[in-house]
Amino acid sequence: MNLTKILAAIAFITSANMALAGSWEALPNKAPEPADNPTTPAKVKLGKILFMDPRLSSTGTVSCNSCHNVMLGGEDNRPVAMGVNGQTGGRSAPTVWNAAFNSVQFWDGRAPSLEAQAAGPVTNPIEMGMKDWDAVVKRLKAIPGYSNLFKKAFVLDGAISKDNATKAIAAYERTLITPGSAYDKYIKGNKKAMTEEQIRGMNKFAEVGCTNCHSGAAFNGPEMPEGTGFFMKFPVHKDKKTEIKYALTRDKGLAEVTGKKTDDNMWKVPTLRNVALTAPYFHNGKVKTLDKAVDLMARLQLGKKLSKKESSDIVAFLNALSGRFPRQTFPTLPGTPGRAF
């Protein structure tokens, strides 16, 4: 073995040891839950049924799962989500997998909790299209099987209500976590869990500055109190040619919520867990491939041009973040025998 190869081997081993000794975090096996909405089997069962039920939409054709497909990567692999009557919005559906580790929800962070997030799409005219939550509750009450499900999930009042429905959906979503990735195994000490390419990518990911934003167990920033939110401006380095092609600054992000110019193009930092499964990328779904997303993030966010090898290594590392998906089955929805809902 020549000197160059020996030095390369030493550098690789040193890099691997640095990664193991660094501030890398494994994903917990259980998601955090609020004191006023503890997770129970009955609540999760109800939440899963509500999540899968298209009758929560005005047309009876769109469920939460339509855009956040738990048989896939927790979203729909569309550039932008499609709601009732084929309507489309301007943003890509975020993954529901590991959403429990976000301190705020939606791309613009407008929902402080999973409970608040669950309430929004149901009455959004483009998404699920119900007139209001009173109409949703009325519909649920007209489906006989829901009464018993709510009573079992909420033993103190058993009411079919907006509050209980969103709590149940949130409880189900807190079970949608994916620990056990190759990365998780590696940082817990299994040095064979990741390939050499993935380890190089892990260290390059930190070296070029990706961890400035994508840190923590879910790679979505530091752990913060629920409702606080971790936001970053995107893109930092604007490029006219790139803007013409991808229109990344057209949507103002957080500023659409706050109305503040200082919040223009500020976005909640999304999780990178299972990112290999959630193409297309970015808030508007304009970027079709993970390698292009990596190149654009390096250039537009960090002001750096990656070599083909550096980009390939980082993509390999991001593939190591795909975790173990808990098995999902479709529930039997409560019916309305002899009549339409």
pLDDT in tens, 28-38: 999 999 999 99
Which structural domain, as residue segments, surrounds residue 220?
A: 3-28+178-319
Share of the chain above pLDDT 70, in %: 94
107 & 59 share domain = yes
Which of 25, 33, 115, 127 is an active site residue?
Answer: 127
For residues 205 and 313, membership in a common domain is answered with yes
Tell me the pLDDT of the chain averaged across its residues. 93
**In sequence order, which residues have a C-beta less than 8 Å from that of residue 286 and are 6 or more positions away?**
79, 245, 246, 247, 248, 280
Active site residue 127: yes
**pLDDT for 248 beyond 90:** yes
Q: Taking 80 as the threshold, does the pLDDT of residue 7 lie above it? A: no
Q: Residue 23 — pLDDT band, cuts 50, 70, 90?
A: confident
For 280-330, how does the pLDDT look when each residue is reduced to its tens digit (9 = 90+)? 999 999 999 999 999 999 999 999 999 999 999 999 999 999 999 999 999
User: pLDDT value at position 321?
Assistant: 98
| Alpha-helical segments (H) within 33-88 | 41-52, 64-67
**236 and 308 assigned to the same domain:** yes
pLDDT 10s digits, 95-149:
999 999 999 999 999 999 999 999 999 999 999 999 999 999 999 999 999 999 9
Same domain flag for 96 and 133:
yes
Mean pLDDT of 150-154: 98
Residue 219 tokens read as: 């790679």
Assigned domain for 333 exists: no
Which residue type occupies 191? K
* pLDDT at residue 2 in the model: 44
> Whole-angstrom Cα distance, residue 142 to residue 160?
11
